[in-house]
Amino acid sequence: MRAVVQRVEDCSVTVEGRVTGRIDRGLLVYLGVGQGDGQEDLAYVADKVSHLRIFPDAQGKMNLSVADLGLSILVVSQFTLYGDARNGRRPSYSSAAEPQKARELYLRLIQELRSRGFTVGEGEFAASMEVSYRNIGPITILLDSRKLL
């Protein structure tokens, strides 16, 4: 499972003119689900997103997480995180999970984060979305549950 995590001042997702998710200060998480991903991958990403210390403390040091500050999270599905552009000019997405499995894990991540007490906004799975945000820092972190070493 791959995630691009961005520290944002505000963020929203719109599908066909309809806002599907909106948060104020917190994290924007683009989530890609790969073939073979399961509960362990989901637990890894949920834990990292919840406790990633990328918000400043009183001294300005990045030492606080969304959990520490009670902030929100917006999760957007993005299979293109599994795009492989090493050969040719058109990326291959053969490492991405099948849509049914990806949707299941995407929704389970949202549910897991909500069960941890977070307010979670969401995109719309498999839709063409417009994502608007202000990345503060900018701070952008890449997570990959398969690259633990």
Q: Is 79 a catalytic residue?
A: yes
Given 35, 80, 111, 140, the catalytic residue:
80
Q: Is 78 a catalytic residue?
A: yes
Q: Is 80 a catalytic residue?
A: yes
Number of Cα atoms under 13 Å in the Cβ half of residue 36:
5
Given 6, 55, 79, 118, the catalytic residue:
79
Given 6, 55, 78, 118, the catalytic residue:
78
- Catalytic residue annotation: 78-80
